[in-house]
Amino acid sequence: MPTIEQVRREAVERGAGAGVEWPTLGLLLLSYLGWIIGTTWAAALSLPLGIVLTALAITLHSSLCHEAMHGHPFRARFWNEALVFPCLCLFIPYGRFRDSHLAHHRDAALTDPYDDPESNYLDPAVWARLPDGLRALLRLNNTLAGRMLLGPLIGVAVFVRADWRAIRRGDRRVRDAWLWHVPAVALVLLWLAHAPMPVWAYLIAVWIGLGILKIRTFLEHRAHERSSGRTVIIEDRGPLALLFLNNNLHVVHHMHPDVAWYRLPALYAARRDHYRARNDGYVYRSYGEIFRAHFWRAKDPVAHPLWPWR
């Protein structure tokens, strides 16, 4: 049986040898086609249908933005980023998503309330100072239902607030990412100005799309003494796995971030026991299991459970 490194190297070499990763490029075209149909023909036929189709296209496009920042479908960063330049989700600049996500890939800092940009945990000392109403809101946000409903609003508000503070401190990289964001959003708004879908309906589609993405990020990482035990495996092969481009096999992605989404299942199958042992059994069989376990019940406390209370 080949080693995990041999399987990984073969997956990378096959992708690189192809020059263009056609499955990724094909899905990108599909996401734009779905978005165009959703905001035009489907919206004119039935606005709820248009909203749902547009929301799914936004979800898929966001997953493909994640692929672009990891070097897909082309070997040149310029072309990857040019392909995902229109900001269909409106609120998150690609440059900020890229920089914060790549910083998140420092596995030693995973779940750290300060050093992991994607951590959902708070420092217990910060948590203790929050007003009761905000604590109740964040506890609700730690259920799957709350994360899907409130998570998009809370996530965008926290993100924009932090970036505004960084800009005021003189962080030019953050400022430039937001400046590039202006034409990326303008393209979308220009399209909407001539499309049957009204802006308010499009905002609902964005909310739904970001809410679907929150299903993926809800329990991707947990507090654990070892960094290798912090990243989840969800053995789902259904529609959500496709929308998330197999990022449900999240420990595989973190170990091999340069491997294209469509090669992750083979990597996992080649050494399934190895990955399950590595993340100390942090495994779910499907997203259905997660919905049953955590739709109304929080998986974690908001305060990082392994951090000392000061």
Q: What is the pLDDT of residues 29-53, one digit of tens each?
A: 999 999 999 999 999 999 999 999 9
At residue 74, the pLDDT reads: 96
The structure tokens 């086609």 sit at 33
**Is 240 a domain residue?**
no
**Is 310 a domain residue?**
no
At residue 310, the pLDDT reads: 66
- 161-to-155, 156, 165 alpha-carbon distances in Å: 10, 8, 6
**Is 218 a domain residue?**
no
Using the CB atoms, write b or e for 46-55: b if 16+ within 10 Å. eeeebbbbbb
**Is 292 a domain residue?**
no
At residue 8, the pLDDT reads: 46
Distance in angstroms (rounded) separating the CA atoms of residues 235 and 299: 18
**Is 35 a domain residue?**
yes
At residue 308, the pLDDT reads: 81
Distance in angstroms (rounded) separating the CA atoms of residues 163 and 172: 11
Whether 304 contacts 223, CB under 8 Å: yes
* Closest to 54 measured CA to CA, from 214, 218, 191, 241: 191
**Is 307 a domain residue?**
no
DSSP 8-state symbol, 231: B
Q: Domain tally for the chain?
A: 1
**Is 42 a domain residue?**
yes
Q: Could you say which residues of the chain have pLDDT below 50?
A: 1-4, 6-8, 11-12, 14-17
At residue 10, the pLDDT reads: 52
**Is 70 a domain residue?**
yes
Range of the domain at 83: 4-209
